[in-house]
A and B are shown apart, each in its own frame.
Chain A
Amino acid sequence: MSDNNAAADASIATDSASAASAETAPTAPTAPQAGQHPIIWTILGIVVLLGLGFLVHSLTEWVPAATKGTGFGQIAKSIEFPVYAILVGFAANAILSALGLRKKMSRAFRTEFLIKTGLVLLGASINFAVIAKAAVPAIVQACLLITAVFLFTWWFSGLLGLDDKLRALLSSAISICGVSAAVAAAGAVQAKKEQLAYTASLVIVFAVPMIFLLPWASGQLGLSPAVTGAWIGGNIDTTAAVTAAGTMAGEQPLQIATIVKVTQNALLGVVAVLLTMYFTVKTQREAGDTSAPTLITLWRSFPKFVLGFLIASVVATIFASNADPTFAASAIGVANELRTWFLILAFVSIGLEFSFGSLKEAGWKPVLVFAAATVVNLAVGLLLAVLLWGSFTF
């Protein structure tokens, strides 16, 4: 391959990668032109991201202290860092976009990497006994909810006459885990890049309000921490948004929301295999495709960070039961602080990567499908959460 070809491929890969970063990259950023020093822009982007992270950290501590004793004091006390992080991310998005810098720095805003690393670290704060205890209801909930929401979305989008490949992307994104699922489904069904961009945009547009809505609604409905976590984990599409909402609801809801979401993530491979088989049979591609790629597809689609999450939980549980209790608490406390930093940076990235651009291309039908499926997801998710998690104790 010539250098020119290699450069072109690298450029395409970068654009694709940004779209895949997925939880939040609805539009692929413009490829840097020769002579624009993309590495320098990436480094500047990282510096900006870290600066915004420090700003969020400061706001989280400063606002409650500064407003103590005032009418806003009680409200400020209850506002968790995801709120500041997302708002700061949106504000920085507007400023950097106005200055023409956002797309140049976009390689630094890796929401998916940051959230997954944060979730691996989160595994260290969850006793493996809780994961083992929660596994059965989480798997049952994931199977039932994914099936119900996927089939509804597939049916309703067919009713509106959407293309089968877009139907597969929308159904996967809503029922499993947002853009990661859409990316996996796009690979399985050979969807168009613009279809992936529409789906990614819709995921973020619907997830951001849910971050605030579900913790509030859970409080209004008087749901227990486990039911709250299961509802959040089962309903919000993107893993990053689930973590943000769970954090706002509390530590126990966050643990259950994460376990539920991670279980859905783990089932992504199964759905990708089924979609591959369906579309391979439907299009009658090369003979033999119906069986050979299934195991490979399953492994490729399996989110590897789930393994890290489980290993972290096992290691930390064994460590905590064998090491000096004071040192163990301190060491796991440091891991929790690191987790918080990764989540702050991930939530800031959500705001930084947000773009309405692709939505203009999508038209009203995918939006209607997403809205209807979200309502179904909310209702079925709440029912399953109450039935499966009502008696769960930590």
Chain B
Amino acid sequence: MAYDKFNVLTSTVVPLPNENVDTDQIIPARFLKATEREGFGDNLFRDWRYDVEGNPKKDFVLNDSTYSGKILLAGRNFGSGSSREHAVWALYDYGFRCVVSSFFADIFKNNCLNIGVLPVTISPEFADVLFAAVEADPRTEVEVDIDTQKITLLSTGQSESFDINAYKKENMKNGFDDIDYLLNLKEEIEEFEKGRK
């Protein structure tokens, strides 16, 4: 479905330095039972965020009011495991528009691009710089510009470029998804299918 256009995002950052955060942590399987797409944000990082009685765990970053923002700064190999798009729906629904990491799992990254959350891959060194800056000052702002493909730490001006393929970039900028594109190709696809039988 169509999503908000992405151009320049300037925001404070929520840091989550854990490595290998899998989609079962982002949204545990028992919360995948809805037949609609809304409301998953409430269960984002459920078991890290709440104890068994449903009380917020104080030491988890989403329960720490010092940190907020539309950018999630994540550790290495973020989003591994299940193909559940619910993980990205949960991030989106919670209010994240961008995830920054030095390494993403494949399917997760694809899912992000399909529903309008921008995955930004940076070098491990720059990730360290960002983590340190946010730790020193939680009000630190980061700017993500999809057009110039640049991510900048505003307090120091340090920046890095990131990759995104041109097709996906246009989609993100316009809030389009692949289905719009594919539906326009229906005749070509039909021809192709006939040739395969």
Specify whether A and B are partners.
no
